[in-house]
Amino acid sequence: MPSERARVVAHRGFSGAAPENTVAAVRAAIDVGADMAEVDVTLTSDGHVVCLHDEKVDRTTDGKGRITEITLEQVQDLDAGSWFSPSFAGEPIPTLDEVLEVVNGSILLNIEIKTEVVDRGIAAKVVARVREHEMVEQVMISSFSPRALFEVRKLDGTLTTASLFNRKIHRGVDPAKIIAEVGSQALNINRRFFNRSIRQRCAELEIPVGTYTANKPRHMEKLLARGVHAIYTDHPDVLLNLMAADE
């Protein structure tokens, strides 16, 4: 159910202050006081769950190639921090286990399962890791893949899931149908696609809506005025300051 105020979600960790999807970014999200950190997860060639947004490591590391074609040992040798700032040189791509250890008891965590690895059984691996750390109540799992969320719900019906709005397949579709497809408890949608009709329908059905990615104060203020339940941002500090000023 909706909380009294919008939940502040640090997108890929506090990615405005540290390299995205790293332990450093997650720690920064905790330190700034965000309500939740969000990370993307995918698989290495040898089946380990790691935190990375892209299919390739090229953009955010000093390596090249598809993450699914690189072993965990090779992944751990990559520098995932220097591209952001020299002060983060040597920051590695973390495993999901490493992130779970950091956030345990400190902050909520949204784990986004990447669609390209759903066929390789990532849903079951993610559920297993969350349960191993006894963090079912602290975690939300989201994905653009209905199949991934269906598998999560089948494996553990107590886990909270959120359906990501896919413009290509969901245009004109009732939000209730999107949610009902896999039994999710929330809808996450790009802020640019969050229109009046979706807002009204979700309000009628009491479906919590999260919007991503709002980085400019004017966008944040507009979303707050529209009563969204969560705002994903690279700059949780800016959002927190805006919300504090409105209290």
Give the catalytic positions in this structure: 11, 53
Instruction: Tell me which DSSP letter residue 66 carries.
Output: B
CA 179 distance to own-chain centroid: 17
Of 179, 21, 51, 190, give the one whose Cα is nearest residue 122: 51
Neighbours of 36 (CB within 10 A): 22
Q: Which is it for strands 108-113 and 160-164: parallel, antiparallel or unpaired?
A: unpaired
Output b/e per residue, 123-153; b: 16+ Cβ within 10 A. bebbbebbeebebeebbbbbbbbbebbbbbb
Q: Are 8 and 231 in contact (CB under 8 A)?
A: yes
